[in-house]
Amino acid sequence: MKQGHSLFVTGTDTGIGKTMITACLTALLARCEYDAVPYKPIQSGGIRMGDTLIAEDVAFYQSIHPLPYGQDELCTYCMEPAVSPHLAAQQTKVFIDPDCIARQLQILRKNHDFVVVEGAGGLAVPLYESEQGIYMTDDLITHLHLPLLLVTHPGLGTINHTVLTVKYAQAHGIPILGFIVNYMPQQPNSMERDNVRMISELTGLPVLGSFPQITDTAPEALRMQLDELRTHINLALLLERLEQAEAELLQIKRMEE
């Protein structure tokens, strides 16, 4: 019987390292005997190769950890324009159906201990427009009943970016497990150290990991560094926070039914 845990990886911005963290977290969980897989429901900026579109994030996951799936199972909507999903969907006439994403996530959860879901961009990202209004990333997260793992950075501006993202998630009733601070220098300066302290103080949320600035991000080099990277993520605390959030989300789900 698989455990079916799941969480949603978001970031303070696009390019913050969500794919890096999703891929490495999946691989690190697998090293702790969890059968973990990543899932990217919506990818814009797909790379055209003849008749097919390559979801770059999925290709990266596959290069870091062997996965028993092809792209179709790990990415439900891959669109070519490198713009916000709502615009990519409009331009390519794709109809994004949150229930289709929920069904695929359910299949993965049934068959694996852990599904690490990666969002597109940050949290306040429109996914599609309809007569009912604008469907946002936070609507999808609420629909999927997932807690958030927030990838952030230690540099200038992070206090503002991180606190705004946390407040936005909280305003939409989404539980947050904590932060992974990406691009952490080996020897952080006083500002970087204080930034990390301050985002935790201001939000009351734990730092679950400080992921280092990596010199060689080629997949083969990264695979060699996984044991080292494992020391930078507090998996025990992440799992503890996840169990609490899952209990909270289960209650919400029961009240909705």
Residues that bind ligand ADP (CB under 6 A): 11, 14-20, 182-183, 211, 213-214, 217
Is 37:115 a contact under the CB 8 Å cutoff? Answer: yes
Location of structure tokens 């691989």: 27
187 SS3 class: coil
Q: Output the six-digit token pair for 131.
A: 């007569």
Return the exposure string of 233-246: e unless at least 16 CB atoms fall within 10 Å of the residue's CB, then b.
bbbeebbebbeebb
Q: Which is catalytic among the residues 2, 40, 167, 253? A: 40
Tell me which stretch binds Mg ion (CB under 5 A): 11-19, 65-73, 100-108, 200-208.
Answer: 11-19
Tell me which stretch binds Mg ion (CB under 5 A): 53-61, 90-98, 108-116, 131-139.
Answer: 53-61
Query: In whole angstroms, what is the distance from residue 48 CA to residue 58 CA?
Result: 14
- Minimum CB separation from ligand ADP for residue 182, in Å? 5
Does residue 57 belong to the site contacting Mg ion (CB under 5 A)? Answer: yes
Location of structure tokens 């959030």: 245
- Minimum CB separation from ligand ADP for residue 251, in Å? 31
Location of structure tokens 């952080």: 188
Among ligand ADP, Mg ion, none, the one that 68 touches (CB under a kind-dependent 5 to 8 A) is none
Query: Would you call 110 a catalytic residue per the annotation?
Result: no
Q: Which residues bind Mg ion (CB under 5 A)?
A: 18-19, 57
* Catalytic (active-site) positions: 40
